[in-house]
Structure 1
Amino acid sequence: MTTVAVKQTSNWPQAPLERRAHALAQVQKISERLAAGVEQGQREGRLADDAVAALRESGILGIMTPDDLGGNVVDPPTAFEIIEAIGYIDPSTAWTTTILLEGAGQLATQLEPAQAAVVFRDRLPLKAGSLRPGSAQRVDGGYRVAGQWDFVSGIHHADFVSASFLVDDADGGTERRMALIPVAEVEVLDTWHVLGMKATGSTTFRADEVFVSDAMVFNPLGPVKRSDTPLARLGMVPYVLQMHMGMVLGAGRRALDEITRMAPTKRRGSRINIGAATSLADSSWFQRELGELDAALRAARALGLEATGRVRDQLAAGGAMDLELQDYMQTASSHAGQTAQRVITRAFRHAGAEAIMETGVLPRLLRDINTILAHGVLGEVGFELHGEFILGLQTPENRRMI
């Protein structure tokens, strides 16, 4: 496996600690621009263009792409904290950011180096895609791809889409392939009308007999084309998990901060019970729950940072992702999702009438966290897998991919 050097577009520091500090500073630098676009994203069902421009300009969308392809790779704990900080601002923005930067990192890993040099030549290419298979017909030099693919987060801001399809393998079964298609060659449909995560724009696209050359087709679960990328070193599931747990914990912290801000002036039940406490902040039962929720968030965050830190140290020592580390990452992610859901739900309940306004922060977070947890990657099935691991029922071969 080789690396093809192309024009470098990143000026991030090379030393790991300096790069980490620089990366986290970029999130703070663009935080106001991201926050300013949240309501527009909710209305339009896609991120505001200026928010995406800020993410591009900051270099954050390159954190899973090697430096020689114009990216600026960071380690797993830093990736966790970057998306956590964006999740605090808006889960939809964090989710879309994660999908787009993961897509760029996948292209860097799965395309032949010479082809990657072409795709990454002008700027960091952003990719959105779907794992739900469509159809493709083998033709001379490639495939004719047709079908409809749904749940394609970030498609409105992507340069390419990946359309999944199945091919016959040598053993009589099937293997997955992905065809990389410029967004301009597909039809983007208006199907994303949902409860939460509205600004992810996770809509549907349709391809009508689009020709895709062999150079732009890859096996997402097959051998990688270069071994030094984050995806190649981590494997697909840990690659995704390192950021998704940060996203939900950032949202949980935002919810707790919101109800803490309200507490000194919020009076629950005072219209009926004139003896109600002056404020939530003066209520011992609220103080107790606030303390419990804060401790739960801190514990879930510590578990996530420990998991990602162990992955970083394992890779730095030349090791690989083993079964125990995969399980640890998945357990930390499921725990993060469960904890964030509890924190956001309780904050919403304490806020009273203020929480039912459609444009409020807490109702948006409540809709978003429940929509996120409908996705398997952060769902309760992670605890089932952890139980299997504890019981010694798992091997690297039989462990299920969420």
Structure 2
Amino acid sequence: MNSVSKITRLSEGAPTATEMVEQIQRALPTLQAKCLSEEKAGRLSDETIQTLDKIGVFRISYPLEYGGLAYSVADQREIYTAVGKIAGSTGWVSWVTTTHGRWIAMFPKKAQDEVYGMDWVGPRISGVLSPLGPGKARRVEGGYMLSGRWSFCSGCRHTAWTIPGSMCIGPDGEPDMLLPLVPTSEFEILDDWAVSGMKATGSNTVQLVNEVFVPEHRVIRMKDANAGNWPCTPPLGQVLFLNNFLDYTTLLSGSTPLGMAKGALDYYMERLGKRGIVGTDYKVQSDAPVTHLQLVEATARIDAAERLLTADCNELDRRAAAGEPSDDLFQTKLKFDVAMSVRGCCEAIEILHRGSGASTIHEANPMQRYARDVRVATVHAHLNYETCAENYGRALIGKPLFGHYSVLEKKMLVA
């Protein structure tokens, strides 16, 4: 782990979100050229991490007093979308690790100093938060003893710290989800990331071979975090840290699929006047009516997804500024909106892929990569359209929402 450095404040020359998007766009050809080798390696390259770090991507969710940028949710959405145009893996790792960086502002000041104040190139936080396979924690003097195995820990090979969601039985005998902050160096990273898409996310399984002690100041309760009952005062004058951390993280997960769809559209448009359509008399693809239809169908889906996400981001920023608390209906709606936007982006990429010809099947071609990566996004547990739609429907008619922990899980935890 890198040494702790002096905490610095944001300089007056820090980039705006628009300026950062422009920098990412300029770096896109160079970073996209690394995608195939990154897929084969199963992780992003150090060069990609260093480039994104230099641009400032990993600081957009950190407090100003620690040299962060504290961009609004709407601005962060634009950043993650721009990175998603490079490749799904690049966008996904940037989103998941950097949004986790905002979570640290909920921890006690001592933990914030340890994470935000350190000298580190790249994202600082990875994590896994799932009720289906959490670790186990037991209370001891001064903190907790933690054990477990966590799958899908995206970006874990690049981070200094990891938040592995863990269950602990409370005094009342009920399960209590904890968010412990653990040095990534404490984990064994398994070489088990062999998948069909999002290949370079490095979403390996991490495990603690032996129990690890986590001091009190590096642990917060999930219930407290969701309710805004933090053991510290939110950074002053920074609206980003007044929103609900689950709403914030969930909503921005739609940014990478949107970026992929926009990248696929750019690729499609670049080739319209350069290729014909085999099996027809069209020497230039842009002359064919079917091309016009494909373009409109794809563009409509991308535009709809972007409008939906933008409106939700603006609403989340508004609620934070107004001090309005989150609620089950709003959280469920956000999840559905994201799932719907991801489905639309997936459909758009499928249309553009079909209209781009057989040359796109080459593994170095960005179009086939967008198609594979976005399909993986649609089957992610939190982006699954059918599940999110059903739960939102239950919320609309007043039925109980799906719970997090089953009786079986509770029994397994106690065992």
Note whether the superposition's TM-score is higher than 0.5: yes
| Alignment CA distance shift 1:41-1:220 (3 Å) | farther
1:318 correspondence with 2:319: no
- The one-letter amino acid of 1:215's match is H
Within 5 Å, which residues of 2 pair with 1:134-283?
134-207=135-208, 208-222=210-224, 223-226=229-232, 228=234, 233-270=242-279, 275-283=280-288
**The one of 354, 362, 381 aligned to 1:357:** 362
C-alpha distance in structure 2 between counterparts of 1:319 and 1:399, whole Å: 24
Deviation, 1:366, is 1.0
- 2:254 counterpart SS class: helix
Maintained 8 Å contact 1:178/1:219: yes
Deviation, 1:201, is 0.2
C-alpha distance in structure 1 between counterparts of 2:117 and 2:53, whole Å: 15
**The one of 372, 375, 398 aligned to 1:370:** 375
1:308 correspondence with 2:305: no
- The one-letter amino acid of 1:307's match is D
Question: TM-score by structure 2 length?
Answer: 0.84
- Deviation per CA, 1:9-65: give whole Å up to 9, x if none: 532568xxx844344344346445533432232121111111111222222212222
Partner of 2:110: 114
1:85 correspondence with 2:82: yes
Maintained 8 Å contact 1:150/1:202: yes
Partner of 1:3: none
- Deviation per CA, 1:295-352: give whole Å up to 9, x if none: 2211221121112112222322333334554344333312210111101111122223
Maintained 8 Å contact 1:307/1:328: no
- Deviation per CA, 1:73-92: give whole Å up to 9, x if none: 11111111111111111111
Which runs of 5 or more residues in structure 1 are unaligned? Answer: 1-5
- 2:10 counterpart SS class: coil
C-alpha distance in structure 1 between counterparts of 2:254 and 2:12, whole Å: 25
Partner of 1:384: 390
Maintained 8 Å contact 2:62/2:116: no
**The one of 47, 54, 69 aligned to 1:72:** 69
Which runs of 5 or more residues in structure 2 are unaligned? Answer: 1-5, 406-415
C-alpha distance in structure 1 between counterparts of 2:261 and 2:26, whole Å: 22
Partner of 1:102: 99
| Alignment CA distance shift 1:59-1:209 (3 Å) | same
Maintained 8 Å contact 1:249/1:301: yes
C-alpha distance in structure 2 between counterparts of 1:357 and 1:209, whole Å: 46
C-alpha distance in structure 2 between counterparts of 1:30 and 1:295, whole Å: 27
- The one-letter amino acid of 2:88's match is P
C-alpha distance in structure 1 between counterparts of 2:259 and 2:104, whole Å: 28
- 1:303 counterpart SS class: helix
C-alpha distance in structure 1 between counterparts of 2:369 and 2:36, whole Å: 10
1:10 correspondence with 2:10: yes
- 1:161 counterpart SS class: strand
- 1:47 counterpart SS class: coil
Worse-superposed segment, 167-176 or 122-131: 122-131
1:332 correspondence with 2:337: yes
**How high is the sequence identity, in percent, across the aligned residues?**
25
- Deviation per CA, 1:128-174: give whole Å up to 9, x if none: 12233123444443333333221100001000122332111233211
Deviation, 1:400, is 5.8
Worse-superposed segment, 213-222 or 151-160: 213-222
C-alpha distance in structure 2 between counterparts of 1:231 and 1:189, whole Å: 34
Maintained 8 Å contact 2:87/2:366: no
Maintained 8 Å contact 1:93/1:199: yes
- The one-letter amino acid of 1:79's match is Q
C-alpha distance in structure 2 between counterparts of 1:142 and 1:77, whole Å: 37
Deviation, 1:253, is 1.4
Maintained 8 Å contact 1:311/1:321: no
Partner of 1:129: 127
Maintained 8 Å contact 1:358/1:364: yes
- The one-letter amino acid of 1:91's match is G
- 1:351 counterpart SS class: coil
1:346 correspondence with 2:347: no
Worse-superposed segment, 27-36 or 120-129: 27-36
C-alpha distance in structure 2 between counterparts of 1:139 and 1:320, whole Å: 33
C-alpha distance in structure 1 between counterparts of 2:211 and 2:404, whole Å: 31
C-alpha distance in structure 1 between counterparts of 2:57 and 2:368, whole Å: 28
Maintained 8 Å contact 1:349/1:355: no
- The one-letter amino acid of 1:316's match is A
- The one-letter amino acid of 2:185's match is A
C-alpha distance in structure 1 between counterparts of 2:313 and 2:252, whole Å: 9
| Alignment CA distance shift 1:43-1:76 (3 Å) | same
Maintained 8 Å contact 2:115/2:124: no
Worse-superposed segment, 203-212 or 33-42: 33-42
Question: TM-score by structure 1 length?
Answer: 0.87
